[in-house]
C-alpha cells in the first residue's frame, strides 16, 4: 500500500486527500472552481453573450447604453462557414453602438439569412417571435453617410429616415446610389467574403423581401418555424460574437499616447 493509501486507511476514509488525487482530477476541479467563482478569463467571456433572453426582452435596460469600441470585429458562424465584420464606429456611431450590443446579447444567434439576392445578403430578424415583437419597432436616429455602399460593406436596412432597427445588409456588389438614400455603412467584411457570396440565393426576394411594403409580418410572427417550413434551404446564422481582442490594440495605443510613451 502506498503512502496515500496508508494514510487514508488509517483515517478510515475512502475519499482521497487533495494531494493524492490524480493530477488531471485536480486540474478539472480547479477549472470548475474558477467557473463557479465567476472568474473565467475575460478573453473567453468575451466570446459568450453577456445577457440572454432577459435583457433582450428589456430594451430599456442599462445594458443597451454600452458604448462600442472605436473599432471592433464580430465573427459570424453560419451553415456555410464563418465571416468577420469589422466596424469603424466613427462612420456611424449610433449604428455601431446598437450593433455591438445586439451581438453581445446574442440577438442574432440561431436566426436565418432570410433575404439573399445577387446584390446583397440581409439578416437581423430573430428566430424567436417573442423577441421579434420587442424589437420590431425599436427605431433609432440616423447617422450621416460617411462611407460609400460598396461590395463588402454593410449597413442597416431601413424604410425611411430614422427608421433603422436591427436588420443588416452586406453588399455583394457596388451600390453607390444608395449613399444618397441615407444608407450609412459602418464597416466591411474583412474575412470570409466568399462565405457571404455562397449563402443560398435561390429564394431571392420571396423569402424575406418587402420591408418597405410591409410584407415581413410572417417572419416577425412566425420566426424560424415559419422560415424553415416554407424556405428550408435558407442558410442559418448560428451565432455572432465580438472577437475577444477587439479594441485591445486601440486601447493600448490610447494609453501609450496619454502617458507619453
Cell 474558477 sits on residue? 34
Residue 246 pLDDT grade (very low, low, confident, very high; cuts 50, 70, 90): low
Round the average pLDDT of the chain to a whole number and report it: 84
pTM: 0.77
pLDDT at res. 51: 58
Separation of alpha carbons 107 and 116, rounded Å = 20
Q: Which residues contact 119 (CB under 8 A, 6 or more apart)?
A: 171, 172, 173, 175
207: helix, strand or coil: coil
At 121 the three-state DSSP class reads: strand
Dihedral sign, Cα of residue 194, residue 185, residue 142, residue 66: positive
Q: Which domains does the chain have, with CATH numbers?
A: 3-36 (no CATH), 47-257 (2.40.100.10)
Numbers of helices and strands, H then E, in the chain = 9, 9
Grid coordinates representing 163 are 427608421
Interval 151-174: pLDDT, tens: 999 999 999 999 999 999 999 999
pLDDT tens per residue, range 48-95: 454 578 999 999 999 999 999 999 999 999 999 999 999 999 999 999
Q: What is the DSSP string of 214-254?
A: T--HHHHHHHHHHHHHH-TTPPEEEEEEE-TTTTHHHHHHH
**CB count in 10 Å sphere of residue 132:** 19
Residues 166 and 64: beta-carbon distance below 8 Å: no
Query: How would DSSP label each residue in 130-154?
Result: HHHHHHTT--B------S---TTEE
Residue 252 is predicted with a pLDDT of: 53
Assess contact for 161 and 142: CB atoms under 8 A: yes
Amino acid at each position: 500500500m502506498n503512502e496515500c493509501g496508508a494514510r487514508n486507511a488509517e483515517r478510515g476514509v475512502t475519499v482521497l486527500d487533495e494531494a493524492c488525487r490524480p493530477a488531471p482530477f485536480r486540474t478539472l476541479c480547479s477549472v470548475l472552481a474558477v467557473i463557479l467563482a465567476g472568474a473565467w478569463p475575460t478573453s473567453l467571456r468575451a466570446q459568450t453573450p453577456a445577457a440572454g433572453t432577459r435583457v433582450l426582452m428589456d430594451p430599456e435596460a442599462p445594458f443597451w447604453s454600452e458604448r462600442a469600441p472605436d473599432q471592433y470585429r464580430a465573427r459570424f458562424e453560419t451553415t456555410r462557414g464563418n465571416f468577420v465584420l469589422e466596424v469603424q464606429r466613427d462612420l456611424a456611431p449610433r449604428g455601431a453602438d446598437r450593433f455591438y450590443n445586439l451581438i453581445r446579447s446574442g440577438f442574432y444567434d440561431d436566426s436565418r439569412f432570410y433575404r439573399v439576392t445577387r446584390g446583397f445578403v440581409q439578416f437581423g430578424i430573430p428566430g424567436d417571435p417573442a423577441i421579434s415583437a420587442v424589437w420590431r419597432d425599436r427605431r433609432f436616429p440616423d447617422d450621416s453617410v460617411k462611407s460609400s455602399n460598396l461590395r463588402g460593406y454593410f449597413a442597416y436596412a431601413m424604410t425611411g429616415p430614422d427608421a433603422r432597427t436591427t436588420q443588416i445588409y452586406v453588399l455583394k456588389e457596388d451600390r453607390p446610389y444608395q449613399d444618397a438614400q441615407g444608407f450609412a455603412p459602418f464597416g466591411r467584411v474583412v474575412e470570409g467574403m466568399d462565405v457571404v457570396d455562397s449563402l443560398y440565393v435561390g429564394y431571392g426576394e420571396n423569402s424575406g423581401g418587402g420591408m418597405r411594403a410591409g410584407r415581413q409580418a410572417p417572419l416577425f410572427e412566425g420566426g424560424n418555424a415559419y422560415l424553415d417550413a416554407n424556405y428550408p434551404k435558407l442558410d442559418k446564422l448560428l451565432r455572432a460574437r465580438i472577437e475577444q481582442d477587439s479594441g485591445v490594440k486601440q486601447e493600448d495605443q490610447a494609453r501609450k499616447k496619454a502617458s507619453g510613451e
